[in-house]
Amino acid sequence: MSLMEKPPVDPQNPWLELRRLTPARIALGRTGTSLPTRAQLDFQFAHAQARDAVHLPFDHSGISAQLSERGRESLLLHSAAVDRNSYLQRPDLGRKLSDASAQCLREYAAAHPGGVDLAIVVADGLSALAVHRHTLPFLTRLEEQMSADGWSMAPVVLVEQGRVAVGDEIGELLGARMLVMLIGERPGLSSPDSLGLYFTYNPKVGLTDAYRNCISNVRLEGLSYGMAAHRLLYLMREACRRQLSGVSLKDEAQVQTLESDADADMKGNFLLGPPTT
């Protein structure tokens, strides 16, 4: 059998065909009443990767240097969580800036009055690994697609020990009409590097998640940079037109699919076989 040929599917176990198409832990087999050793070791390795992603230090200086090479200014801020343990045990502290960072941002805003159309915030969240891997490639695609809109932008704000809601305070202090938060999502056992995007129109302290739009799982094995940028640009343009975001703003971006719904219907369910006439 050549490497390009599909292995035969066991007709008694059609789940094996699905296993080839997903990283989900299905059809693992068994040894007696237990998992096989290979499956157990794979689970332990994935769990270790997830733990490492949570505790990996935020390399804000590296991201700042890369932004500088692209001609983008950045500001480094810190949440009220003084260290990683405080961040994990006190989620509320990650949702607001430290006093020193808030004062720093007020001084910047005073020196640059008038506000901006867009503020981009990058926070480590629960996976600095995701931020390290995907921030610069995603921002490159986003800026390519939004170059014609002419929006004024604040420096990219880097927040250490930050959670999603800290962006509301940043956006309010900067006088930003729109805010996009890039943050490391909680690692899963097959996705330790998933990047989340949170968009808010007219950000201000006290907003709930109902006022935000989320685009999740931005990574090489998930939602592509180009597709994520396309969906985010749709939300941003619609938000400017309708002056709102969150549950009242649905993601109805038109994207080209690999196959039509009709084609998918013709294939039928892999467990039940092709549709009958």
Nearest residue to 121 (alpha-carbon basis) of 105, 99, 103 = 105
Strand partners, 198: 181, 214
* CATH number of the 57-242 domain: 3.40.50.11240
CA–chain centroid gap for 106, Å, is 28
Tens-place pLDDT, residues 173-200: 999 999 999 999 999 888 899 999 999 9
What secondary structure letter does DSSP report for 246? S
Q: Decide: 236 and 200 in contact? Cβ < 8 Å.
A: no
276: buried, middle or exposed (CB in 10 Å: 19+, 13-18, 0-12)? exposed
pLDDT one digit per residue (tens) for the chain, 277 residues: 444 455 555 556 677 777 777 777 787 877 888 888 888 888 899 889 999 999 999 999 999 999 999 999 999 999 999 999 999 999 999 999 999 999 999 999 999 999 999 999 999 999 999 999 999 999 999 999 998 899 999 999 999 999 999 999 999 999 999 999 999 999 988 889 999 999 999 999 999 999 999 999 999 989 999 999 999 999 999 999 999 999 999 888 766 544 444 444 444 444 445 555 4
Q: What is the pTM of this model?
A: 0.82
Q: Position 263: which residue type?
A: D
Owner of token pair 């950000």: 203
d(CA 168, CA 201): 10
HSE-CB at 178 with a 13 A cutoff on CA atoms is: 24
